[in-house]
A and B are shown apart, each in its own frame.
Chain A
């Protein structure tokens, strides 16, 4: 079966713009989590959505937001982009939203902010 897909895979934006990233979970999965990966800070949890509800969020400013649709697809939005937002954004989906063994990551979207 198809894995987690993220679109686009690469994106270049300029400071001040906004961006929307998309994540399509594995079929049947109801949980989608988002992470930011940078060389300096490593992997950091952004937020998790389960059945269209945000269950928790990490320590990121309000410029970072997300949502989940009824088909479990999720989007994250970053407004007023800053240079430091350049990163690999990973999403992961899981069936029940509890087990680590059932959480699978997508390949990520590489965002470059100029």
Chain B
């Protein structure tokens, strides 16, 4: 089946630093999504990307849909303590009746030291 390789697995940074994480796939995706999950809660959508080359920002977050459609990255600028959590990428390649049939990366655990 499809797999997403997300890296790094974890990051420990100082408040104010910028963060970058990425996902790569062996197959093409039509949509790339980035989520954040806090302990005890479900994932929350941060950014959705719909076409190759697209660069989208949401506050201090910026994500890009790779030109090859096989990768995506997420940048967080000027990190703050509340950025702590697990960040997931997800791709969607074949709706087959459901847009929500997603393939997820294993996540990046971000720790921010105040």
Q: Which residues of B contact A44 (CB under 8 A)?
A: 104
In-complex Cβ contact of B42 among A50, A92, A100 (8 A): A92
State A81–B98 Cα separation when bound (angstroms): 27
A-B contact count (CB 8 A): 63
**Is A55 a contact of B97 with CB atoms below 8 Å?**
yes
**Is A42 a contact of B105 with CB atoms below 8 Å?**
yes
State A12–B98 Cα separation when bound (angstroms): 31
**Is A97 a contact of B99 with CB atoms below 8 Å?**
yes
State A50–B97 Cα separation when bound (angstroms): 10
Interface string of A37-72 (1 = CB under 8 A from B): 000001111001010000110110000000000000
Rounded to whole Å, the gap between the CB of B51 and the closest CB of chain A is 14
Query: Taking the complex as formed, is A33 at the interface, i.e. its CB lies under 8 A from any CB of chain B?
Result: yes
Q: Which residues of A contact B45 (CB under 8 A)?
A: 100-101, 103
**Is A107 a contact of B48 with CB atoms below 8 Å?**
no
- Number of B residues near A (Cβ < 8 Å) is 25
Interface string of A88-114 (1 = CB under 8 A from B): 001010100111110111111000000
Give the 3 A-B CB pairs with smallest separation, nearest first: A105-B42, A56-B98, A43-B104
Interface residues of B (CB under 8 A from A): 1, 31, 33, 40-45, 48, 88, 90, 95-107
A-B CB contact pairs (8 Å), 27 listed: A31-B100, A33-B98, A33-B100, A42-B88, A42-B105, A43-B43, A43-B88, A43-B90, A43-B102, A45-B101, A45-B103, A48-B101, A50-B98, A56-B95, A56-B96, A56-B97, A56-B101, A58-B101, A92-B42, A92-B100, A94-B100, A97-B98, A98-B99, A100-B31, A101-B48, A108-B41, A108-B42
